[in-house]
Amino acid sequence: MTPVDRAADLRQTLARARHDGGRIGFVPTMGALHAGHARLIARARDECDTVVVSLFVNPLQFDRTDDLERYPRTLEADTALCSSLGTDVLFVPAAGEMYPAEPLCRIDVGRLGAHLCGARRPGHFGGVALVVMKLFQMVGPDRAYFGEKDAQQLAIIRRLVRDFDVPVEVVGVPTVREADGLALSSRNRRLSADERERAPALHRALLEAARLIDAGQTDAGAIVAEARAEVPEDGDLRVEYLEIVDPDELQPVQRITGPVLVAGALWVGHTRLIDNLSCTPPAARP
Ligand code: PAF
């Protein structure tokens, strides 16, 4: 595995791979890797000739400085995991390499950022879109792999690629879960033992919404109200949002007549967790 911290060296290394005609697979991450990331890297390894993983905690996508400062950093373990999974090139740029100057040109993700996390984290998706666009320019991948846990991010990146004609295939990879349903996340390692025990409440709420949709209920407001009741809210557990939106435009749905995304964010102590499920009502199934 070749570790690289400069974009110029990355381009040079990949020029060779590209010259040989191989397919380049790219897994962008912010490090603190877990089995969900491992699934992305393994998929890239299966489908591509050269696998590039980036580790960069992107300051532009943090709306709170305490969240940026507390974001877990585990470079040694991340490097070992990438190597064990057959990564060819590990790109670990410093902030000054990614942003040698304050970027003036920004990306506005429009209505795709108006709901769900976008409504609660001002500037977050603009920051994600900007860094992903820069990474795509530096790596030039044929395929790029993203987790479905970050469903809004995935929808925005699909649109970004379309709007800017980026020649990359975006591949969504299913969420990896613990046995009790908790979606894997780098933020899970911040949970205390008690918080960890309570954290699957979000997944239970999503499952309840999915069950109601499956049973033929179509009133999104009523479904959300019943699903929220699955979370015993108190000082330590607080639902930030639970919403039902259409899966492409991410706009709220009142009456469920086609496929929807049920998505939520839950505060567990000082840690914010997100999760989602895709659901298709019985009336819209083939
Ligand atoms: O999903 C993430 O880890 C980040 O948002 C990403 C895509 C690497 C951009 O910083």
Give the angle 20-21-23 at the CA atoms, nearest 5°. 120
Distance of CA 256 to the CA centre of its chain: 25
Exactly one of 34, 37, 124, 203 is catalytic; which is it?
A: 37
Pick from 226, 53, 71, 224: nearest CA to 144:
53
Rounded to whole angstroms, how far apart are CA atoms 115 and 241? Answer: 10
Give the model's pLDDT for residue 205.
98
Tell me if residue 19 is catalytic.
no
Kindly state if the Cβ of 58 falls inside 6 Å of ligand 1: yes
Q: How far is CA 100 from CA 3, 9, 73, 129, 164, in A?
A: 20, 16, 22, 18, 23
Give the model's pLDDT for residue 245.
98
Q: Which residues of the chain have pLDDT under 70?
A: none
* Beta strand 143-147 pairing with 169-173: parallel
pTM greater than 0.95 (yes/no): yes
Kindly state if the Cβ of 29 falls inside 6 Å of ligand 1: yes
Give the model's pLDDT for residue 21.
86
**Main-chain dihedrals φ then ψ at residue 260, nearest 5 degrees:** -135, 165
Which CATH superfamily is 186-277 part of?
A: Pantoate-beta-alanine ligase, C-terminal domain (3.30.1300.10)
Rounded to whole angstroms, how far apart are CA atoms 121 and 142? Answer: 30
What is the 30 CA–ligand 1 centroid distance (Å)?
A: 6
Give the model's pLDDT for residue 235.
85
CATH class of 2-173: alpha beta
- Domain map of the chain by residue range? 2-173, 186-277
* Contact in structure between 54 and 26 (CB atoms under 8 Å): yes
Give the model's pLDDT for residue 16.
87
Q: Which residue's alpha carbon is nearest to atom 3 within ligand 1?
A: 29
The preferred substitution site among 117, 132, 154, 157 for testing ligand 1, maximizing ligand atoms within 8 Å of CB, is: 132
The preferred substitution site among 37, 131, 137, 173 for testing ligand 1, maximizing ligand atoms within 8 Å of CB, is: 131
Give the model's pLDDT for residue 82.
98
Kindly state if the Cβ of 156 falls inside 6 Å of ligand 1: no
